[in-house]
Amino acid sequence: MERVLDNDVKFVAGVGEARARLLDRELGIRTVGDLLGHYPYRYIDRTKVYRIADITEAAGLSLVQFRARVTGVAYAGEGRRRRFTVFVSDASGSAELVWFHGIAWIEKRIEQGREYLVFGRPSFYRGSLSVVHPDIETMEQALTRHAESGMQGIYPSTEKLSSVLGAKGFHRIVTSAWELVRNRIDDPLPEALRRRLELVPLSEALHGIHFPQSAEGLEQARRRLKFDELLGIQLNIQARRTDRLARRDGFLFPRVGPLFRAFYETQLPFPLTGAQKRVIREIREDTVTGHQMNRLLQGDVGSGKTLVALMSMLLAVDNGYQACLMAPTEILARQHFATFRRMLEGLPVRTAILTGASNARERREALEGIADGSVQLLVGTHALIEERVRFADLGFVVIDEQHRFGVEQRARMWTKNARPPHILVMTATPIPRTLAMTLYGDLDVSVIDELPPGRRPVRTVRYTDAARLRLFGFMKREIARGRQVYVVYPLIKESEAADYKDLTDGYEAISRDFPLPHYVTAVCHGRMKPADKEESMRQFKSGEAQILVATSVIEVGVDVPNATVMVIESAERFGLSQLHQLRGRVGRGGEQSYCILMTGEKLSKEARARLDAMCETNDGFRLAELDLRLRGAGDLGGTLQSGEPFDLKIANPTLDARLLALARDTAAELLAADPALADPAHRGLAGLRDRHAGRDRTDFSMIS
């Protein structure tokens, strides 16, 4: 019965074959249910019709609607600067409607003396009202318009879709989809449960989110839809956890063998911190239970997660299994590999590396060695999850900076084995455990809450371009003291070409101001060949180059303890967690380090808040919290989103923490009574659970 929502979206009036294909390609919308699950991100109130005289600058309205009659038109300018003005008035006053393009289309639709409903963003020139590119309809159109309510949803869309569907296109097809299913929607929640939790029925919620009649109705709708989303995820996670703990096929690492011991006694360059020891102990305890381990390791940048990873991997090798570490970038994989090689020197353990940029020889050595079991410890990028990578006996997997991996990539790691390897995922983006579970599935959490001794907090300051000479002077002084400097440029996809130009200009300016033979400046960005990137990184690491000009490819993980200055250009364009990651590249040795945020003169409020926070604190936990708050509801965009296994459309696990707790308890209660949700009355619940099952590939515990 709930099948009506599974109908192909092409059957919705106003969609059809071609648009259905476009909806799928652009937004993954295939069924009527998908379409109704595409919620508005904001609403405009179309019940309110203003008098022109009431639309003043002082009223501070962002969007307005008014009825007015056309009194005249005017053309001005030529070619691209052409402008079409329509003069309108109502009983209270007059206004101008202005078009800069689409003039041929609009002029045909404007009739002298006729009354229109005008909708748009008001602007004011010397106190008089004008609206640029408004939506207009004749009053006849407005009165027959099929509007279910006064609040009209604005839907997330793509450029392509908007150009095909038009501005109100989504609203129109959602309205027809609703007509199609309105009386045939089955509620997945059993009635008694729904009432007890004081949730509105699903059909009411769907209506309420697309065509809200009131603010309270909208709130109720959102609460219900969020709850379903969170409950589905909780049912999924908890069922899997029960399943994982019921099984006893986890690899056993009972012995602390010669390798681990030799490493600890002879290779370790410094004593472990208390937190590192504790986490290694937690991992050891996990690997003797007979259950598969699924552990998230959180630790701020520079807290020494790599060492914990290495020692855990040695534990696996000591017990006769292979171990691998997957890093999100080529640079980071190479760095880990070099570190491991250096630290393992003289010990009987065979290592290999495999990345997308591996040459034929490196690739062959790695592939053969891991297939026949002679390579015990493998480092790589997502090249590790390619089909042809076959392990002889993979017992332990580390995923570094896991938030940087896409869902699919993390997901495929476990298919490498008949038995599930233990999994350690590491991140410097600290999040509370319930949130972590919602985002990453069924896992236990370890925290490194202590930095290695002797670290001094990085001093962070903000400069504008006016201070560039001072900045260069400062860089010279630091270099004279034997230190090294990063200069990082933002790289954002849409403006790639411009970004590269910024970087290249910056590089040239620095090369001019820091001439050879005293200074060597290396450059590293995504458009370079892997071999050239590697050479730049080598120069910088070895200290041959004192300055590294780079894009944020160096954002995660890069470890050059002698570097003490991080200059971030156009810092306002970076997100908070990215800034914190970048800053984490310095302050890794015992020297005082500096982070210099270069910004423009004018900053948005949010950008200022981010930069102020950076200058105020070095605490990654506090910054992560602030970041979530700044990015606010419904927008877990950016870094977190890209790594989420669960597709959260409407709930925000941070802001909806109470609803999350309710969903968690409800799921536990339901599963206690009916673990498989096999009761016919629970069929809808099983559906909610399985809606997220397509994603269970992310959970490393699910091995068939």
What is the contact surface with ligand ADP in residues (CB under 6 A)? Answer: 270, 272-273, 276, 299, 301-307, 428, 452, 557, 559, 561, 588
Nearer to Mg ion, 427 or 460 (CB): 427
**What is the SS3 string spanning 84-104?**
EEEEEECCCCEEEEEECCCHH
Q: Pairing relation of β-strands 94-99 and 83-89? A: antiparallel
561 interface partner picked from Mg ion, ligand ADP, none, CB below 5 to 8 A per type: ligand ADP
Q: Decide: 489 and 515 in contact? Cβ < 8 Å.
A: no
Q: Decide: 407 and 441 in contact? Cβ < 8 Å.
A: no
- Which stretches does DSSP call E strand in 243-321? 294-299
Cα 331 to Cα 10: distance, rounded to the nearest angstrom: 46
What are the DSSP calls for 499-512, one per residue? HHHHHHHHHHHHHH
Q: Is 452 in the site for Mg ion (CB under 5 A)?
A: no
677 interface partner picked from Mg ion, ligand ADP, none, CB below 5 to 8 A per type: none
Nearer to Mg ion, 218 or 399 (CB): 399
273 interface partner picked from ligand ADP, Mg ion, none, CB below 5 to 8 A per type: ligand ADP
Nearer to Mg ion, 557 or 587 (CB): 557
Cα 492 to Cα 480: distance, rounded to the nearest angstrom: 33
619 interface partner picked from ligand ADP, Mg ion, none, CB below 5 to 8 A per type: none
**What are the b/e assignments for 498-524, b being 16+ CB within 10 Å?**
ebbebbeebbeebbeebeeeebbbbbb
Cα 65 to Cα 135: distance, rounded to the nearest angstrom: 9
The least distance separating ligand ADP from the CB of residue 306, rounded to whole angstroms, comes to 3
536 interface partner picked from Mg ion, ligand ADP, none, CB below 5 to 8 A per type: none
Nearer to ligand ADP, 303 or 322 (CB): 303
Nearer to ligand ADP, 220 or 427 (CB): 427
φ, ψ dihedrals at 438, nearest 5°:
-65, -35
Q: Decide: 162 and 141 in contact? Cβ < 8 Å.
A: no
The least distance separating ligand ADP from the CB of residue 232, rounded to whole angstroms, comes to 34
* 3 state DSSP class of 548: strand
Cα 372 to Cα 577: distance, rounded to the nearest angstrom: 41
276 interface partner picked from Mg ion, ligand ADP, none, CB below 5 to 8 A per type: ligand ADP
User: Using CB under 5 A, which of the segments 176-184, 247-255, 379-387, 556-564 binds Mg ion?
Assistant: 556-564
Nearer to Mg ion, 132 or 338 (CB): 338
Which of 420, 441, 557, 620 binds Mg ion (CB under 5 A)? It is 557
The least distance separating ligand ADP from the CB of residue 591, rounded to whole angstroms, comes to 13
The least distance separating ligand ADP from the CB of residue 275, rounded to whole angstroms, comes to 9
* 3 state DSSP class of 549: strand
User: Using CB under 5 A, which of the segments 89-97, 123-131, 247-255, 555-563 binds Mg ion?
Assistant: 555-563
**Residue at shortest CB range from Mg ion:** 557
Nearer to ligand ADP, 269 or 680 (CB): 269
355 interface partner picked from ligand ADP, Mg ion, none, CB below 5 to 8 A per type: none
The least distance separating ligand ADP from the CB of residue 619, rounded to whole angstroms, comes to 14
Nearer to Mg ion, 232 or 557 (CB): 557
**What are the b/e assignments for 391-417, b being 16+ CB within 10 Å?**
bebbbbbbbbbbbbbebebbbbbbebb
User: Using CB under 5 A, which of the segments 31-39, 414-422, 557-565, 676-684 binds Mg ion?
Assistant: 557-565
Nearer to ligand ADP, 347 or 609 (CB): 347
Q: Decide: 302 and 588 in contact? Cβ < 8 Å.
A: yes
Nearer to ligand ADP, 377 or 660 (CB): 377
The least distance separating ligand ADP from the CB of residue 614, rounded to whole angstroms, comes to 17
588 interface partner picked from Mg ion, ligand ADP, none, CB below 5 to 8 A per type: ligand ADP
Residue 121, C-beta contacts closer than 8 angstroms, at least 6 positions apart:
62, 63, 64, 131, 132
Cα 139 to Cα 116: distance, rounded to the nearest angstrom: 5
- Which stretches does DSSP call E strand in 46-158? 64-76, 83-89, 94-99, 115-120, 122-125, 128-132, 135-138, 151-154
The least distance separating ligand ADP from the CB of residue 557, rounded to whole angstroms, comes to 6
The least distance separating ligand ADP from the CB of residue 645, rounded to whole angstroms, comes to 22
What's the full length of the chain, in residues?
704
Nearer to Mg ion, 95 or 333 (CB): 333
The least distance separating ligand ADP from the CB of residue 539, rounded to whole angstroms, comes to 19
436 interface partner picked from Mg ion, ligand ADP, none, CB below 5 to 8 A per type: none
- Which stretches does DSSP call E strand in 449-601? 459-464, 484-489, 521-524, 547-551, 563-568, 594-599
User: Using CB under 5 A, which of the segments 446-454, 553-561, 636-644, 674-682 binds Mg ion?
Assistant: 553-561
Binding site for Mg ion (CB under 5 A): 557
